[in-house]
Amino acid sequence: MTPADLIANTIIQCGECTACCRNTMVILRDDETGYADTIVRVASGDQYRILQSRPNGDCVYLTNHGCSIHDHKPAMCREYDCREVYMAMIVAKTRRERRADIASCGDLKAVLRAGRKQLRNTTKVGMKGA
Ligand code: SF4
Ligand code: SF4
């Protein structure tokens, strides 16, 4: 089974990790209302509703005990999988490109670390179950 198959067939176990709740643009779907949101306009002119962040970049719903709206967090949070981010970076980018990306977004490093760790755990579980 390939890493992509393992990722597709397993649910990520985040535990206490909150690496992707910092400096991340959580885009809300049109039907996702009632959140603390704000509108951003991107270079193409398109605009999106995103979750608000604190001045330090943390999501407004992030607490010392994790996500305060865990049971009804937006779809993008529910579907986010740092293993996919890690795999995409490893497959599609050179080491130099990865370094440049990490330098331009400090929290990406933490997400990639989490993705690598999660992928290793997934692979171990997958091999046991094979
Ligand atoms: S970075 Fe990965 S392990 Fe950490 S909270 Fe996000 S999805 Fe979960
Ligand atoms: S809503 Fe919760 S899971 Fe989503 S970014 Fe904010 S703190 Fe993280």
Residues 124-130: what's their mean pLDDT? Answer: 56
Q: Does 27 contact ligand 2 (Cβ within 6 A)?
A: no
Cα separation of 127 and 130, whole Å? Answer: 5
* Number of domain units in the chain: 2
Q: Does 82 contact ligand 2 (Cβ within 6 A)?
A: no
> 15-60, pLDDT tens digit by residue?
999 999 998 899 999 999 999 999 999 889 999 999 999 999 999 9
Q: What is the DSSP string of 46-78?
A: -EEEEE-B-TTSBBTTEETTEETTGGG--HHHH
Which residue's CA lies nearest to atom 2 of ligand 1? 82
Cα separation of 26 and 14, whole Å? Answer: 17
Cα 86 to ligand 1 centre (Å) = 11
Residues 77-100: what's their mean pLDDT? Answer: 91
**Mean pLDDT (the chain, rounded):** 90
pLDDT of residue 98: 86
> 76-87, pLDDT tens digit by residue?
999 999 999 999
Q: Quick one: 85 and 130 in the same domain?
A: yes
CA torsion sign, 102 to 27 to 18 to 128? negative
Q: Which domain holds residue 117?
A: 1-21+80-130
